[in-house]
C-alpha cells in the first residue's frame, strides 16, 4: 500500500510518516512538501536511514495541479492524507494570501487530482479552530456550527467544505479529522510550547497573550497520528471525526509547567497585548472517534508536555538551526 502524505516535513506530518512506517510494515509513503518556512527535511532524517526505499520525498507545491497530476499518474496511491497547511494564526492575521493559496486552492487541487487518478481515500486534516470559541462549559461535537474567528481557521473551514462537497457531488471517499492543539517532538518554535520552552532555556522573556487564561485541549501528536490511521482505514466516507484528549489547560498553566520543569523563574513571563480575535476556549468531544473507531489517547497532558520538554532538551541539534533562520 502506498500513501501520499502532503506537508510531511511539518510537525504533525513528519510524526505521522514515522508512525505509519514504524507500525505498518507493508506501507510505502511518498511525502510531498513545498518546504516553506515551517517545513524541515531534517525532521525525517531518521526515517530516511531506517526505512530506506519505503520512504520517498518530492519537493512540490500542492496547489501546482501539473505537479500533483504527474505525481498521482506515476504511482497508484491508496490514499491522500492532507496535512499540508499554513497554520499560524498570527501570520494569517498579517496576511491571508498564503493561507488561501495553500489551504483552500491546494486542497481543491488535491481533491480533483485524487479523483481523476482513482485514489481510493482522501483524509483531510483539519482543526477544532473551525468551530470558533466556546464559553466556560460544553465541548465541540461534529454537529457544532462552523464559526471560524481568524483567516487561518476560515481557510481550513473552507477546505473542509470543499472536501465534503467532493463526497456529496462525486461520491469521493473523503473523511475529515478535526483535532485539538497538538504538542510533541519536531514542532516549529513559533507555537506555544516550543516557543516558551526555548525562550526559557535562553532566559528570554516568555510572551503570554492577554491574561493567559485562554483554554486549549492539548493532545500529544502521537495520539493524533494514531487517530488519523484509524480514520484512514475505518472512517466512514463523508464523515467528520473530532480528535481530542480531554487535556484542557489554561495557557498560563502550560507556561508555568514548562518553567517549573526547567527550574526557571516565573518572572520570565511577560503579559502582552492579546491577539486579535483570540478564541477563549476550545474543548473537543471525541466520543464519536472513540466509539466508532476504537481509538483513545494514551498520553495525559501534563506527563506528555514534560516528556516533550525532555525531547527538546535532548535534541538541540534539531532546533538550534531553526533559531538562526
Report the catalytic residues: 128-129, 152
- Residues in the chain, total: 325
Phi, psi of 249 (to 5 degrees): -145, 145
User: What end-to-end distance do the CA atoms of the chain give, in Å?
Assistant: 37
d(CA 164, CA 231): 15
Are 153 and 129 contacting, i.e. CB atoms less than 8 angstroms apart?
Answer: yes
Cell triple for 139: 465541548
Radius of gyration, alpha carbons of the chain: 19
79: nearest Cα among 232, 266, 182 = 232
Cell triple for 133: 470559541
Question: Environment class of residue 87 by beta-carbon count within 10 Å: exposed (0-12), middle (13-18) or buried (19+)?
Answer: buried
Amino acid at each position: 500500500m502506498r500513501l501520499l502524505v502532503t506537508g510531511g516535513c511539518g510537525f504533525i506530518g513528519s510524526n505521522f510518516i514515522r508512525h505509519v512506517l514504524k507500525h505498518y510494515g507493508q506501507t510505502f509513503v511518498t511525502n510531498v512538501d513545498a518546504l516553506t518556512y515551517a517545513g524541515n527535511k531534517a525532521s525525517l532524517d531518521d526515517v530516511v536511514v531506517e526505512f530506506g526505499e519505503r520512504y520517498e520525498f518530492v519537493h512540490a507545491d500542492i496547489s501546482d495541479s501539473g505537479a500533483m497530476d504527474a505525481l498521482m499518474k506515476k504511482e497508484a496511491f491508496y490514499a491522500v492524507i492532507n496535512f499540508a497547511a499554513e497554520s499560524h494564526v498570527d501570520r494569517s492575521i498579517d496576511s491571508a494570501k498564503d493561507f488561501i493559496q495553500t489551504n483552500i486552492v491546494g486542497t481543491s487541487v488535491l481533491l480533483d487530482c485524487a479523483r481523476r487518478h482513482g485514489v481510493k481515500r482522501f483524509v483531510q486534516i483539519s482543526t477544532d479552530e473551525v468551530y470558533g470559541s466556546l464559553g466556560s462549559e460544553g465541548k465541540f461535537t461534529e454537529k457544532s456550527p462552523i464559526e471560524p474567528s481568524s483567516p487561518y481557521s476560515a481557510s481550513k473551514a473552507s477546505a473542509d467544505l470543499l472536501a465534503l462537497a467532493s463526497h456529496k457531488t462525486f461520491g469521493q471517499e473523503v473523511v475529515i479529522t478535526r483535532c485539538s492543539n497538538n504538542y510533541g517532538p519536531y514542532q516549529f518554535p513559533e507555537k506555544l510550547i516550543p516557543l516558551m520552552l526555548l525562550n526559557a532555556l535562553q532566559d528570554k522573556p516568555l510572551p503570554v497573550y492577554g491574561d493567559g487564561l485562554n483554554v486549549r485541549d492539548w493532545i500529544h501528536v502521537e495520539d493524533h497520528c494514531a487517530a488519523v490511521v484509524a480514520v484512514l482505514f475505518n472512517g466512514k466516507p463523508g464523515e467528520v471525526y473530532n480528535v481530542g484528549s480531554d487535556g484542557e489547560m489554561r495557557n498560563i498553566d502550560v507556561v508555568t509547567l514548562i518553567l517549573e520543569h526547567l527550574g526557571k523563574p516565573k518572572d520570565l513571563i511577560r503579559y502582552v497585548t492579546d491577539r486579535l480575535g483570540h478564541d477563549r476556549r476550545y474543548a473537543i468531544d471525541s466520543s464519536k472517534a472513540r466509539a466508532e473507531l476504537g481509538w483513545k489517547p494514551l498520553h495525559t497532558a501534563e506527563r506528555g508536555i514534560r516528556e516533550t520538554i525532555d525531547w527538546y532538551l535532548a535534541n538541540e541539534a534539531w532546533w538550534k538551526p531553526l533559531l538562526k533562520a
